[in-house]
Chains A and B, each alone.
Chain A
């Protein structure tokens, strides 16, 4: 405890506090800009951190990481475009609230949940760094496959009225993933002989195409003359009582974020969607999910911020980056002469505690930036639709370029804009396709890896209890909505 207090004192030194504040601001910005993400934000400050001492460098990087996970929700709530991929699930309920004129409430819930999730993730990190790091590596190919299939089973809850259309959407998403070099053999698949398609179709261009560009197409093609919104459509901030009542959802979301975030390679996007789905599964009113239910914002936002602390577990405990952002962070740490690994906690105790404390201060700063920012976000919501939508398309195209410096990504976003428009027109939901693209690599690669290790025997999946449970749960999730629908139908027929 005394080490933590020393860490806190160190974190509020002017240099360190300055680094935290700069990191938080940049992080919120990078998170909120469609196309930019925590990874891009971190990569951008990497050269800056070279010039800093280890502690402020580290603090700046973690505050960017933390704030970016929150920043993504701002765009998700304001305009229904996930500012970064972990905010995907936040669009479901967050944007619905905004359309009902309750943007301020949605912003308040997401900020409160992000802050709580961030703190809970940090507590998890402090409490269980060593043991959890060892537990995380128990996840092998069979377990990853199980997690991937379990994640994909969420599709069953997202298909809407016509199951076959949802399934086709998910299949298309999985097919989009197979474009590019096969990890296990290096074979180019569906690249049509080009090099540009070799690294595959990116998630960010897909999200931008599906959410920002498709919406713009819909507006002009639908001939809807956007109306200027009048008056204060922001609603009011949530009352403390409402926030306290959301606490169970936040706890559940943070737990899911903490567990999935600690598994290398799983990540915040999967965690937040799983959190949303589990919240819906245990809810008494699952039909209200996706239509602006507060718990549908609280759980995924708590989950993606809890992931930040959790992602530090394999990073600090084993020196293993569990996400693209963590990989950049690791690079920054190594240049600073900080070598994460089993010995870090004993050899560089001071730095680790400064990091713990930094997490707590970063979360508080995020709260401050968020509270100060809400009036600005509300202004964004109330911009004229013609301006808002055009700027979203513009910034999305530029953000996509900034992501990898590859102009082809902007073309990919346009392609996905067209695909998304066509799919929506014909009644195909888009989110299953996104899930397919996210989970495809986890499912295919690990299925084949597990079989290679077991010389082709499927026993690999039943021998591992974790994998077996996940696969069974996935089976239940796939079937449950259909069974429920059938039961409801029968009831209706009888009455």
Chain B
């Protein structure tokens, strides 16, 4: 089995989910003359969504900086990302396989939905921040976060906000803000996606939407929606006050970064980081970042990135426990 060609290996490795052993140890990890074959970016995110797009943008720009090797995105969805992560984890010490990790991943780790921990992957580089924000329809009476929360306090249980998922990164982001505001009774209406949550607010079914900038950008430009507050400053929204400026001392964000399989050597890790840094500084990639309305937040210190992930898992667990959503 050691002499298998590259193509054959490609075919072989597919069912690694059911047979984890298959991907490991059967080939030399090729660290010596990296990259010795095509790079694979495993994508477990919704096709066309921001995370999937990041993977695809990387796959377009990266070949230039990976000695001309092809960079393929392979879709492995299922199990709230577990299918893709399992595959990545199974490719131990192989620098040719990468994945895009997000805040949703750490939250799923915290809730115990997926049986992984940050240590199961090698953090390489954090690329984007996608700060949360709270938006309302243009005819809403709210002008600030204070308006929103004070209305919620005067009408407990009647003010609603729509957002992506329950016990999700979005939900926890809002729960943190809510805690800071003194826990008024706001109804969180979970939707299957951030865009659906915005539709609900736009249609007047909920009072506000908890989402990200790229989803409401066009509605802000058209004036059909307004932003009450952003978690962290957004370049394109210089006039909008942050949570902190409105008296809430926190800045919950969604983020995306690249991780590798477990057990990558220091050398492989810094090599990958350098190549990815060059990739994201490429004008084509910057172009994508601008179009996708993402904020650069490069964290190139892999250890810092790893710690950030681990901390987020712990923080989320604590919050979930406090909300009674985690019992272990």
Chain A positions near chain B (C-beta within 8 angstroms): 39, 42-43, 46-47, 50-51, 137-141, 181-186, 188, 194-199, 264-265, 314, 318-321, 324, 327-332, 334-337, 339-344, 401, 404-409, 441, 445, 449, 452-453, 455
Contacts and interface: CB of A to CB of B under 8 A. Distances in A.
Contacts of A340: 218
Contacts of B204: 140
Interface size class on chain B is: 35 or more
Contact of B217 (A51, A186, A341, A408): A341
Contacts of B14: 401, 405, 407
Contacts of A182: 166
Interface in B63-109: 73-80, 82-84
12 contacts: A47-B59, A47-B73, A140-B204, A186-B190, A198-B78, A199-B79, A314-B199, A334-B53, A342-B218, A343-B221, A408-B17, A453-B205
Contacts of B317: none
Interface in B120-165: 157-158, 160, 165
A455 B158 contact: yes
Nearest to B17: A407
Given A137-B199, A140-B205, A183 B291 contact: no
Contacts of A320: 195-196, 198-199, 202
A73 to B, nearest CB: 24
A408 B203 contact: no
B75 A404 contact: yes
Interface of B: 14-15, 17-18, 46-49, 52-53, 56-57, 59-60, 73-80, 82-84, 111, 113-115, 157-158, 160, 165-168, 171, 187, 189-193, 195-196, 198-200, 202-206, 214-215, 217-219, 221-222, 224, 287-288, 291-292, 325
Given A198-B113, A408-B78, A332 B48 contact: yes
A181 B111 CA distance: 12
B205 to A, nearest CB: 4
B80 A198 contact: yes
A264 B15 contact: no
B47 A328 contact: yes
A452 B192 CA distance: 16
A50 B56 contact: yes
Nearest to A199: B78
Contacts of B46: 327
Contact of B189 (A42, A138, A449): A449
Nearest to B14: A407
B83 A183 contact: no
A406 B111 CA distance: 23
A330 B48 contact: yes
Contacts of B15: 407
B284 to A, nearest CB: 9
Nearest to B18: A407
Q: Of residues B83, B196, B215, which shows the largest number of chain A Cβ atoms within 10 Å of its Cβ?
A: B83
Nearest 6 A/B pairs, CB to CB: A341-B218, A331-B48, A342-B222, A137-B203, A328-B48, A186-B167
Contacts of B199: 137, 264, 314, 318, 320
Nearest to A404: B77
A328 B59 CA distance: 17
